[in-house]
Amino acid sequence: MHQQFATVFVFMLLGLAFLFVSQIASKLLRPKNPYAAKQQSYECGEEPEGSPWIQFNVRFYLIALFFIVFDVEIIFMLPWAVVFNEMLGTVGPLAFWEMFTFVCVLLVGLAYVWLKGDLDWVKTIIARDDDELVNRGLSRYSSGDKLGKPGLGASEYV
């Protein structure tokens, strides 16, 4: 039984060896010419500015959550799709309708995020009164939004 793990061990050793050998080899072979522009995070494109430790918009996390819903769907569907041909003769209809139900349930999830307006990047928040806006450090945004109620616009999300 332990013989099987020997393969894994050799694989790990080879992996480590590859890492170090390639790093050392390139260190020995490459020319070395550092200057200020080259030491930047990105050699081309945007110039980095300030600390990267800033507050991210919470909507990034929401988008990540929606992504997971559909990501998981695919994870479950892929193995099903692979063996579906073999199942056709036996439990084919059952397997088909099971997956159909599963996708329908996830569709409810899609309908939910859509109707709740979470697929729009700029979401309207309905504030209940001025005090609450002040407490949350926000100001009233008065351009006409969809519901015609006082809300907060894009400024909060920049």
Partner 1 sequence: MNFTWSDAAYFWPEAIMALTFIACVLTDLVTRGRRHGVTLSVLIAGTVVSLAMTVIKAPEASHYVFGQMVVIDPFAHFFRYVFLFVTLVTAVFSYSSREIMGKDRENQGEYYSFLAVMCFGMMVMAEANDLLMLALSIELVSITSYIMAGYARFSLRSTEASLKYVLWGAMSSGVMLYGASILYGLTGATGFSAIREGLLAGSGSELALLVGMLFVLAGIGYKISAVPFHFWTPDVYEGAPTPVTALFSAGPKAAGFALLIRFFYTSLVQTDGTGGVTLLEGIQWPWLLAIMSAVTMTWGNLAALRQTNVKRMLAYSSIAHVGYLLMGFVLLTQAGLQAILFYLLIYAIMNLGAFLVVIALNNRLHSEHMDDYAGLGYREPILAGAMTIFLFSLTGLPPTAGFVAKFYLFAALVDSQLWWLALLGVLNSVISLYYYMSIARSMYFTPATETGGLGLSRAHVALVVILAVPTLVLGLYWSPVKALADSSLAFLLGG
* Binding interface with partner 1 (CB under 8 A): 91, 94, 105, 108, 111-112, 115, 128, 132
Min dist CB 39 to partner 1, Å, is 40
- Phi and psi for 141 in degrees, rounded to 5? -110, 120
Minimum CB–partner distance for residue 108 and partner 1 (Å): 6
* Closer residue to partner 1 (CB): 24 or 147: 147
Cβ distance to partner 1 smaller for residue 48 or 109: 109
By beta-carbon proximity to partner 1, the closer residue of 75 and 108 is 108
Q: DSSP characters for 74-117?
A: HHHHHHHHHHHHHHTTTTHHHHHHHHHHHHHHHHHHHHHHHHTT
CA 96 to chain centre: 29
CA-to-CA dists, residue 5 to 14, 16, 138, angstroms: 14, 17, 60
Write out the two tokens for 27.
């260190």
> Residues, the chain, total?
158
CB of 91 to partner 1, least distance (A): 8
Query: Shortest distance, CB of residue 115 to partner 1, whole angstroms?
Result: 5
Query: What phi and psi values does residue 132 have, to the nearest 5 degrees?
Result: -65, -40
Residue closer to partner 1 (CB basis): 81 or 94: 94
Distances in whole angstroms, Cα of residue 81 to Cα of each of 20, 69, 102, 134, 155: 41, 18, 14, 53, 45
Minimal distance, residue 63 CB to partner 1, in Å = 19
